[in-house]
Amino acid sequence: MRGLYAILDVDFLRGAGVELMAFAEAVLSVRPAAVQLRAKSDGPRATLEKLRALRPLCSRAGVPLFANDRPDLAVLAGCDGVHVGQEDVDIADVRAFAPALRVGVSTHDLGQLDAALSTNPDYVAFGPVFATTSKAHPDPVVGLDGLRDAASRARAGGVPLVAIGGIDVARASAVAAHVELAAVIGALLPEEGLEGVKRRAESLVRALY
């Protein structure tokens, strides 16, 4: 995988008054490298319904679908993978439960990165690279220098690195110089709303590839 890792954040879209499936169709039309559903405020049933609705859209576009936090829901929805955080299920437990799932993990400093690399995940996310508003209590910003160090370690471990946090079109090229993928949430939705999502996603894909 290389390029745009699009995160469909249900809470963010709900706050912006944007319908999830219409947004997903616009993003998938440019065939990003991967899509993740993030539904922090939804219960398991609602999250599963959304994953099951996204599954055929992702399949038609040839784009891997990742669930956030929940390997059980990823299996039930037929997802390609699951993304876990530092306080979620361990990668070893995910693989014991669902060996066919790809597994990515969030890291926020070099110690966490090294620990994650030792488990040989399918990818490691590192950040926030820049200040972000997508989390209520974000971790400290690592900056491009921190990202460069992380990229060197991930490359040595043979694991793709996903930059995350505050990445937009203007910053995308600088980020792409160091990593295989960049996760984007808020910058996928321009000021003009849903009408401009495809154009914005296309710009990100070009800058990140």
**Strand positions, DSSP E, the chain:** 3-9, 34-38, 65-68, 81-84, 102-107, 123-126, 161-164, 181-184
- Determine the topology of domain 3-208 in CATH: TIM Barrel (3.20.20)
- Lookup result for tokens 């490298």: 33
pLDDT for the residue numbered 193? 86
In the predicted model, is pLDDT for residue 139 greater than 90?
Answer: no
Asked whether the CA dihedral 55, 56, 58, 59 is positive or negative, the reply is positive
Coil, strand or helix: which one is 139? coil
Percent of the chain past pLDDT 70, that is, above it, reads 100
pLDDT for the residue numbered 115? 96
pLDDT for the residue numbered 24? 98
d(CA 84, CA 71): 9
pLDDT for the residue numbered 209? 84
